[in-house]
Structure 1
Amino acid sequence: MSQIRVFLILILCCFCYKIRAQDISVNDTATPTDLIQNVLINSSCVDVESVNASGNPTPNQQSYGSFTAGSNFPFPSGIVLSTSPSKNAEGPFNQQGSKGTQVRTWNGDADLNTALGINNSTQATVLEFDFIALTNSISFNYIFASNEYQNNFPCIYSDGFAFLIKEAGSSDNYKNLAVLPNTTTAVSATTVHPKIETINGSGGEPLVGCEAINENYFNGYNTAASPINYAGQTVVMNASTDVIPNKKYHLKLVVADDVTRQYNSAVFIEAGSFVTKINFGEDRTVANSNPVCYGENFSLDTHLSATTYTFKWYKKDASNTYVEIPGALSPSYTVPSSGAYKVEATMNNTACVSVGEITVEFSAQIPSTNTSLLQCDDDTDGVTVFDLTKAANIVKNNDSQITNQGYYETLADAKAKTNPILNPQRYTNKSPNQIVFALLENTYGCNTTAEITLNVSNSVIPNQNPIETCDGDDTQDGLYQFDLSAEVTPQILSGLPAGLLINYFLTSADAITETNPLPNIFKNTTPNSQTIYARAANGPNCYDITPIELIVHTFDPPNFEDEARYLCKGDDMTLSVDSSFSSYMWSNGSTTNSIVINSPGDYSVTVKDANGCEKTKKFKIILSEPATITGADVKDFSGNDNTVEIQYTGAGNYEFSLDGKVYQDSSIFTQVTPGVYNAIARDKNGCGLSSSFLIYVLDYPRFFTPNGDGYNDLWVIKNIDQMPDFTISIFDRYGKLLKQMNQNGTGWNGIFNGREMPSDDYWFTLLFVNGKNVKGHFSLKR
């Protein structure tokens, strides 16, 4: 049982060793010369001298060294420069200890401060040397790693590093090679990181995040299984620069902590990646948006001497294998076709072989077509105004991927992109049949030219008859609208070639330059007669320009307003207008200047003058007739409030009278005095009188004086004898019946049973046979 336990422990130890073997291993005893000459540089084309290093002042804790790594780190071996002891770079990542080493006596680097624009670096590690390259460029690969890839630190600060180069012994400023591709931005935790969310710190305070910056260069955050002891790292980056062969340069590799001396960082440089090469620049490919232009002579130049080097040029074949190009032995080579090319330059009497590679693609030929523009000339001198942009799509064959880069008077100017025509939409040619040049460019900046010949049209549109219309609105001011396409264009196009397009302008100059085209529905701006200009075009070419006179006739006859008339029932009426018009059309179909009508309704006549202009007059015929009085509503026995309302029928417009002399519009009469009336209605439209209607308005006397003087001796209701049967009963104040009378009675004389009744108030009731009942009182005075 104990043997099994021992066996399992051995297996577990071996497994743990295998896991830990994936971490990097750092040798911090390697000398600076060994790091440069035996680790970093792997080229017989580089001579190195004056190697120096500096770093952590703490004994036995060197901050630079060499490393080896397992398969899960991008570099199998290389150099590490750190802001803490280099052994601390060994994995795995330990977050608890990530705050790092702080050495107060460990200073920063002035050259790094200058390169990065800072003034407070600390704990700098430097590895520097002089070198001479035998070719024209150098490069090496690196990774930046940092414990500052935690919390929101990259939003605020970062340790700094740089690869500084300049000519040895020069007082020039250093150039930093540790920058983002195609920029001068230094690589750091603040310039390369993913999006960082806002979180709460250990004390609950917000740690404000920030948006991602150059996230494509961030390799990711590390874990307890990572091979290095840093929180995060970049992808593999490349530092490169052109150099002058055989010139001595000084290269300073430096990394430093920020002022906090916390959360250390390191730079890992791949072993053997420092090489010299012949740099032809980036690949010239469609994918890189920089292919070689069609027809361009593209030469690959090593910039090396033919007396010092021998050269071999290669091109990849269909099997993706480089094959030597026969006879290509010069320092430069003109590329004849697309492909992958390589050169090997061997320095005479040495083992130095420099290599340069590049993939070259040629862009397709830019489609272009020479063309001509045909423009009209208003004074036949062969010089006119052209819109060169009309040829824009023609010269590039309507290819949307090609852009027009301007127009030029000479081919030399077009090729040099100098002296472009400043206003190609309004270009006045210098001579008949002049040629100008359009510069065309594809998406890769390649260009070509196309010729545009400027010709003047000799086509002629025949003289046009005026276009006439009538002023058809209510205001006869000689201004009216024309439908140019319907009223004018068909006349112009008659007899002309098919396919012409007509547009209209106020002036011939506007027609030449196609400025301010008129709308299709055009209202003249000059009364009665105005000349506009029609431009006939065939595509971009002008056929001819011709004037068109627009004439607006007015027609406003006098006394032609609409009328309303009254027609008496049973009569007829003549409707007429002036007899001097050219034609007449009545609503009933008659074509004379008058008609006879005998019924009410709506009639109209449309007349024309000599120009064919129309005017319509409307007649509204209203029926009228004498009224028929059907009765009267009489309110009497009311003193001053007596009223009479005449009741009638009829289609006319009436006025009314109670005496046949005084008429009023209302059929209601007020304050009518008692009496007998012959009411009558009169048609205001002259259609006659109604028959008279007899009306009685009655009232009783309010007192009487039976004193025998022959005046007002009887109490009697005037005209009551003309009314239907009735009975009058008279009472004293106590209700005693004193007198009763009917139609045959002559009135009451104030005597009851032979005795004169005293002065007093008396009451009466008047009861008609039709049920009408009137009550009242009166006074007897003696």
Structure 2
Amino acid sequence: MLCCLSFEMNGQYISIDDGRTAQDLISNVLVNSSCASTSGETGKGDNYRLPQQSFAYFNRNGSSFPFEEGIVLASSTAQSAIGPFVSDLGTSDSVDWLGDNDLNQILGINSVDATVLEFDFVPLTDYLSFNYIFASNEYQYSYPCEYSDGFAFLIKEVGSTDPYKNLAVIPGTNTPVSSVNVRPQIVPGTGPNGSPYPGCAASNETYFNGLNTNTSPVNYAGQTTVMTAQSPVKKGVPYHVKLVVADASYRYLDSAVFLQAGSFASKIDFGPNRTSDNSNPLCFGETFLLDPKLSPAYSYKWYRDNVEVATTPTYTVTQPGNYKVEITLTPSSCLLAGEIKIDYAPEILSTDTSLLQCDDNSDGFSIFDLTKVNSIVKNNATNITNAGFYETLQNAQDKTSPIAGPEMYINKTPNQTVFARLENEFGCFKIAEVLLQIAPTSIPDPSPINKCDEDDQQDGIYEFNLDLDVTPQVLLGLPSQLKAHYYLTANDALAEINVLPNLYKNATAFNQTIYARVVNGPDCYDVVKVDLVVNTFNPPNFEDESKYLCKNGSLELIVATGFASYNWSNGSTSNSTTVTTAGDYTVTVTDSKGCPKTKKFTVILSEPATITDAVVNDFSGNDNSVLIKYTGAGNYEFSLDGKHFQDDPQFNGIAPGIYNAVAHDKNECGMSNIFPIYVLDYPRFFTPNNDSHNDFWIIENSDKLPEYKIYIFDRYGKLLKQMNQSSSGWSGQFNGQQLPADDYWFTLTFENGKNVKGHFSLIR
């Protein structure tokens, strides 16, 4: 049971054989093909822990490592590459193990502990590649933010003085693969010495395979994905290849590079796959020549989707598929292969079309907006782009000299054809033709469009609704699909610039000319001159009025004669109407041009007043007053004598007497009822000397008063006299004796409870 467990654990990690020579590793592991031969194989590395080597053969050994077998070059002993990963920040490498000058020069580092394999190689094709994985213990803490060991795959022609070319780079760049250039995001943390570090962003993380654990097949903290070193070469020309890995500056945190067995070889390179995923499919109808550029004397087999399709030295692709060629370099048994996947972009559908433009002077030349047919020529396909218009087919095909300003292109010849280049997202193109023609159709100028100036200021400026007021007359009798747009000038209409708004107020008073561009879709049908006329109508003495209607009467409302029509709000159609009820009445008159003007009559009900009462303040001397109470819907003036009138129903300073109050309607609807009013007062003295003048003290007109009694007292309160309506007055006597001249007091008491008190003088 323990034996089985030990076997499973051992099977989780790679195995290392570091007893094989450099020549064996290069010829029989890395290359290992009848199609290739190497020479001058050498290797050097750790010479201080023999027999251990820093380059060796490795085998997956049942683990999950991506390569089945291959060569490993390490900056420490090759045995240290065996998993699992155990973090060790120290080193046991000799201080005498030196670096490599070529690596220093290509990477700009100061290397130590370098391991190198070198050999010469003659490619059979013009393309070379091999697969590798870079692994490093520098994928710990924040080290990838700052430090990286160095490695390179160097190649140059044998005997050349040119510098080496490094094949260990990020695909599509010249950036060397390293733990700094290929790393995940490093989050802030604390280093092994207890110091915090800020971390750093990821770099080319697509090529980072991940961090390793204590079950990893190799003893490195992290590693890249499987990567390919590749380069064009000259077939038949010998090249020198140098594979090197080393620590950079410090002998800590070792790194290694794993080379896949048998992957170093000349290959048939047809370039990148031509697929939509790569944004480079073949264009619809395009052919593609697959040419290995080898001797036609060799034996060829071509496959499409694993079905043999030809045995020729080249093959022309006309349909999508996965293509493969196998070439036997007869009379040898060397078999070379190449593959490529090919897709086709969908066909670009196009439509040749024509564009009709109007001609304002009949010379056959006009301004064309070519962009109007953008959607038409590409069949409204949103994924197709119009890459410009061209005056010649050749220019459109070559994509040279596009028409500048296609929105305002003036044709060079009558019935000229221009060419639209249509492109898809992959750069495939198709040419569509656009015929530029002068519209053969014409529209007669409409009669002037008349509008009445109906705003408050009769200045000949008024707003037109062009769609409602003008378009129906311009398009009268024409096909229903036509539309009209309006411009200030004919040239603007041709160029379709400065289009007028639909609600347009003329800028020139009374009469202005505009131009209608009538279109049929993108085509011009005709440019039509349109005269806008604003008529004014401002009759004199046509202000609103107020009129008064007497109750139970009638009123005639009248405006001047001579207008073209009359329309009263009550239905009358003459210059006058008779009304019998109050309210608002309007009359709209029109002149000979149909322009309206409206006048409003406000009819107000009026009637004679009814005087219902009078509030009399009397016995007050100069402060006597009368307030007339009344009802009625009218505008009244008031009088106490029927001759003198005032607007206020309040009369002040009224002398004692009998009055007949009336109210007069100012709207001439008549007089009110007559209302008698008595204003009384008492005399302030009397002289009972039998001269027939003031011989008696009596209240004038007291007989007109309601029932009352008067009591007269001397200054001591003694009752001297009592009187009523039938009394003739007081003669100044008491018990037949004349009373002396003095002041006397009275009390006037009415049946309704009202009391009036005062005093007067008896004078002898």
Q: Same fold (TM over 0.5)?
A: yes
Matched with 2:301 is: 314
SS of 1:623 mapped into structure 2 = strand
Amino acid aligned to 1:229: N
Contact 2:148 2:178 in 1 (8 A): yes
Alignment pair present for 1:65 and 2:56: yes
* Distance change (3 Å), C-alpha of 1:652 and 1:110: farther
- 1:570 CA displacement: 4.3
Per-residue Cα deviation, 1:699-748 (whole angstroms, up to 9, x for no partner)? 668x7698989999988766655432333456688876666554437369
Distance across 1 between alignment mates of 2:761 and 2:201: 114
- 1:606 CA displacement: 2.2
Distance across 1 between alignment mates of 2:676 and 2:243: 136
Matched with 2:127 is: 137
Distance across 2 between alignment mates of 1:54 and 1:109: 11
SS of 1:133 mapped into structure 2 = coil
Alignment pair present for 1:76 and 2:68: yes
* Distance change (3 Å), C-alpha of 1:691 and 1:260: farther
- 1:566 CA displacement: 1.0
Question: Which of 507, 511, 532 does residue 529 from structure 1 map onto?
Answer: 511
* Distance change (3 Å), C-alpha of 1:371 and 1:780: same
Alignment pair present for 1:217 and 2:200: no
SS of 1:394 mapped into structure 2 = helix
Matched with 1:746 is: 729
Matches within 5 A, 1:148-227: 148-151=138-141, 154=144, 158-168=148-158, 170=160, 172-194=162-184, 208=198, 213-227=203-217
Matched with 2:663 is: 681
Distance across 2 between alignment mates of 1:321 and 1:640: 138
- 1:624 CA displacement: 1.3
Per-residue Cα deviation, 1:525-584 (whole angstroms, up to 9, x for no partner)? 333222222233322222222222222222221111221111233443332222111222
Matches within 5 A, 1:95-106: 95=87, 97=88
TM-score (norm 2): 0.87
Distance across 2 between alignment mates of 1:114 and 1:675: 139
Distance across 1 between alignment mates of 2:433 and 2:95: 75
Matched with 1:8 is: none
Alignment pair present for 1:12 and 2:2: yes
Contact 2:688 2:696 in 1 (8 A): no
Contact 1:502 1:535 in 2 (8 A): yes
Distance across 2 between alignment mates of 1:435 and 1:348: 57
Per-residue Cα deviation, 1:150-202 (whole angstroms, up to 9, x for no partner)? 45554565544443444455555544333333334443444444555556778
Matched with 2:84 is: 92
* Distance change (3 Å), C-alpha of 1:348 and 1:727: same
SS of 2:66 mapped into structure 1 = coil
Question: Which of 421, 425, 437 does residue 455 from structure 1 map onto?
Answer: 437
* Distance change (3 Å), C-alpha of 1:23 and 1:617: same
Distance across 1 between alignment mates of 2:206 and 2:560: 94
Distance across 2 between alignment mates of 1:176 and 1:603: 102
* Distance change (3 Å), C-alpha of 1:748 and 1:434: farther
* Distance change (3 Å), C-alpha of 1:751 and 1:141: farther
Matched with 1:623 is: 605
Question: Which stretches in structure 1 are left out of the alignment for 5+ residues?
Answer: 1-10
Distance across 1 between alignment mates of 2:232 and 2:3: 50
Matches within 5 A, 1:332-411: 332-345=314-327, 352-411=334-393
SS of 1:413 mapped into structure 2 = helix
Matched with 2:224 is: 234
Matched with 1:542 is: 524
Contact 1:45 1:135 in 2 (8 A): no
SS of 2:512 mapped into structure 1 = strand
* Distance change (3 Å), C-alpha of 1:274 and 1:665: farther
* Distance change (3 Å), C-alpha of 1:170 and 1:262: same
Matched with 1:6 is: none
- 1:381 CA displacement: 1.2
Distance across 2 between alignment mates of 1:368 and 1:424: 19
Matches within 5 A, 1:606-755: 606-636=588-618, 644-658=626-640, 660=642, 663-669=645-651, 677-697=659-679, 722-729=704-711, 740-743=722-725, 744=727, 746=729
Distance across 2 between alignment mates of 1:748 and 1:49: 175
Contact 1:603 1:619 in 2 (8 A): yes
Contact 2:285 2:318 in 1 (8 A): no
Distance across 1 between alignment mates of 2:111 and 2:720: 142
Distance across 2 between alignment mates of 1:187 and 1:674: 130
Alignment pair present for 1:421 and 2:411: no
Question: Which of 268, 273, 290 does residue 283 from structure 1 map onto?
Answer: 273
Question: Which stretches in structure 2 are left out of the alignment for 5+ residues?
Answer: none
Amino acid aligned to 1:394: I
* Distance change (3 Å), C-alpha of 1:598 and 1:292: closer
- 1:242 CA displacement: 1.0
Contact 1:131 1:250 in 2 (8 A): yes
Contact 2:688 2:731 in 1 (8 A): no
* Distance change (3 Å), C-alpha of 1:22 and 1:730: same
* Distance change (3 Å), C-alpha of 1:644 and 1:370: same
Matched with 2:754 is: 772
TM-score (norm 1): 0.85
Matched with 1:574 is: 556
- Name the stretch that deviates more: 204-213 or 630-639: 204-213
